[in-house]
Structure 1
């Protein structure tokens, strides 16, 4: 059996589409039960071998199935439990994962029920531990097909795409109305945003998109970005419009010495370099920095790239400006990465918040007097944002908050808190309920060393 395939699922079968469903079941299990990030599982170089062996159209199908299965996991779980007389024992192997993959196709994708049911039964038959339950798989899914409308109306304990702990946390933090708006936005597959080196209006016209937040280009196009106009020429890079906002808070950085901390995959490094800064890109992972170097080379931009741990590194002299995109729970990115809801656990937030505080305290000592430091995370959790800055300012004399102004972030006043922080939510910028709206969730605060 190839490394990475699910235990008990055989190495292939002649039925068309079976290999794609097998890969979807395997990857779903790895994400949900082993907390493996979906991006790693679907990495074209080192990801799941069954996925990598598929043709392009089948890889796209697997991505679509997993997107639906993860975005709607709680709802699918509620529906399946209503169809089962008793819980399925763990010793049955991947029965529940097989059911989730089939249900995602039947409920949320344009795939004939009969194909989803037949392939699910075949997968169960090929699993030596699930084999005895193939009749159950067949019966549950056939009933699901008959009662689809009524089952979709069942109330969900929590939220359709979130575990209960996270839905409870967000409702308490943001209130019921904003929580519902976030969920509606996250149910949509987001558009593709690009950051451009220059002339966003020109690039929007060339690529058939529109300019958002003044400088980002938003596209509805699908497909391999490597084939889009301007990729090989280094005219742009992929970066959510919200992710492009924190670097703007440093203002005019032309000629300044700026360090981008936790820099990989390099979108913010590219922004700073394109703005004329003398950039140092630092990240703890040499492997992740390979991508930063590749992106800079394609874009024709320069930066000093360093692999180091912030906690052990010591710069030769202070910097004019610092951007710290701290490691975080990434709960603001679930529009693009629905697996985050299932790979993160409550304890992760406290662990990450402690690390963020340590990194911010360390980095603050590298800033020259009068310089700016922007701290940001792609998290919706206050412990990783507002509470982090409040604690830093209370413990660190000589720093002051510089409030964010709407004109600095393309007029997105709804993304500015009363304190002057940047706090974008998935439901911001048009509500996020259409393919052309919404933003990733980000927090950013700008501080000046006095």
Structure 2
């Protein structure tokens, strides 16, 4: 079937969309830049960012900042909308691509510029973000015409997106979000580790937008009331996401910082740290450093990336908290002293944080783990030398993969008889029994902490083990 052709429309060279005809080379190239319609810059920013992530493998935050600099000044609400589009596409790319593909007669050629990011961005707006069809479609067509490789597909874009706007939700409803959006290798790994039912729960929760969790310096109940949130058992104040972080009451005065509830638990495993010397290793961007400093610890925050340490310093300045900052390779750092406690939040695959970093779904590969595991081993061995006799060592990662958690600790304890596990008890630091391994380590999952409101449910996936060095 073909759609009616306008009397003045040129005959297409080939057909590319079901139910439509598509021009092979369409539209005259403008001799001078056309005025940009309202909303164009926002969509262009989203598409540029998606292209950097999906085509060139850049991390979300780096890609968004780089694309924002090239885009020039935008209102905060426009930047927020662009980021929302990007996050939505990254979370639901499998579904969106399946819907768009269902209206294509043949695959798109590889040499089509930013056509796929444009189509995915527009489909996300039409199917998931309730953008008026005329706006999403016309802006997508404009973007195609401004891309020298995609402009020949402007009529295809128009035809396909019109079909998406009218029929796409029916196609979407028949898809299984878990199997369509999750990398098969990752779902298979989780199934092997956690069983099929829990693996599906983890995957489904990972595809949801995370709530906004705040760690407050004092009086969480009062702040929850002022901000319209709730206090979780561990003392975190949880809010529904929405608006700019900087506009929330208490930000400017440094009353709180953003930190997932699960990410706040490892530092709490050190207990009362007031007056203790604590080394926070791989410390940036500083959430755990802030926790320890706010609790009265004398913190030495160590990281090997200057820009990340600068960000940590800025966060501490806003919060009016103090910590010694050290730029060093932790595997070789020799401070000439030992600490009462050491917290090592080791670099990892971060598969427990997909809710907040959906680019992980597209950037991580099955064989990425081995190098990180080896680095974690070196970091853990060196961290052990920094703990004074009788002191505590907490090792944690935001990974769901066993080799980046339980297997690391099992190996470490087998090689270091001067350390022993200090099991975590249910109820300690607001930790539920379901969040503990049989050995007494912390293991949170994205599907933990369910709430009636999906937007207020869930935790990042974290693993933490608490060890004590013998006297």
Question: What TM-score comes out, normalization by structure 1 length?
Answer: 0.93
1:51 touches 1:59 (CA, 8 Å); kept in 2?
Answer: no
Aligned partners of 1:149 and 1:129: how far apart in 2?
29
Tell me what 2:245 maps to.
Answer: 225
Which among 34, 38, 45 is matched to residue 16 of structure 1?
38
1:181 touches 1:431 (CA, 8 Å); kept in 2?
Answer: no
Aligned partners of 1:209 and 1:202: how far apart in 2?
10
SS in structure 1 at match of 2:420? strand
Tell me what 1:110 maps to.
Answer: 130
Structure 1 unaligned regions, length at least 5: 1-7
Aligned partners of 1:22 and 1:420: how far apart in 2?
49
Q: 1:151-186, CA deviations, whole angstroms, 9 ceiling, x for partnerless residues?
A: 113445963432222222223222221122223323
Moved more, 224-233 or 246-255: 224-233
Structure 2 unaligned regions, length at least 5: 1-28
2:49 touches 2:67 (CA, 8 Å); kept in 1?
Answer: no
- Kindly indicate whether residue 158 of structure 2 is the aligned counterpart of residue 138 of structure 1: yes
SS in structure 1 at match of 2:343? strand
Tell me what 1:161 maps to.
Answer: 181
- Equivalent residues in 2 for 1:5-404 (5 A)? 13-43=35-65, 48-156=68-176, 159-220=179-240, 222-404=242-424
Question: What TM-score comes out, normalization by structure 2 length?
Answer: 0.89
Residues 448 and 396 of structure 1: CA distance in aligned 2, closer, same or farther (over 3 Å): same
Quote how far apart the aligned CAs of 1:306 are.
0.4
Tell me what 2:4 maps to.
Answer: none
Aligned partners of 2:137 and 2:423: how far apart in 1?
55
Aligned partners of 1:17 and 1:67: how far apart in 2?
18
Tell me what 2:9 maps to.
Answer: none
Quote how far apart the aligned CAs of 1:18 are.
1.6
Q: Report the RMSD for the aligned CA atoms in angstroms.
A: 2.1
1:430 touches 1:438 (CA, 8 Å); kept in 2?
Answer: yes
1:117 touches 1:141 (CA, 8 Å); kept in 2?
Answer: yes
Quote how far apart the aligned CAs of 1:84 are.
2.1
Tell me which stretches of 4 or more aligned residues in structure 1 moved more than 4 Å. 10-13
1:273 touches 1:303 (CA, 8 Å); kept in 2?
Answer: yes
Quote how far apart the aligned CAs of 1:438 are.
0.9
1:12 touches 1:19 (CA, 8 Å); kept in 2?
Answer: no
2:316 touches 2:322 (CA, 8 Å); kept in 1?
Answer: yes
Question: In the comparison of the two structures, how many residue pairs are matched?
Answer: 440
Aligned partners of 1:20 and 1:225: how far apart in 2?
19
Aligned partners of 2:241 and 2:192: how far apart in 1?
36
Aligned partners of 1:256 and 1:157: how far apart in 2?
47
Quote how far apart the aligned CAs of 1:432 are.
8.6
Tell me what 1:3 maps to.
Answer: none
Aligned partners of 1:426 and 1:327: how far apart in 2?
19
Aligned partners of 1:145 and 1:212: how far apart in 2?
40
2:377 touches 2:408 (CA, 8 Å); kept in 1?
Answer: yes
Tell me what 1:4 maps to.
Answer: none
1:200 touches 1:215 (CA, 8 Å); kept in 2?
Answer: yes
Aligned partners of 1:255 and 1:294: how far apart in 2?
23
Tell me what 2:13 maps to.
Answer: none
Quote how far apart the aligned CAs of 1:189 are.
1.9
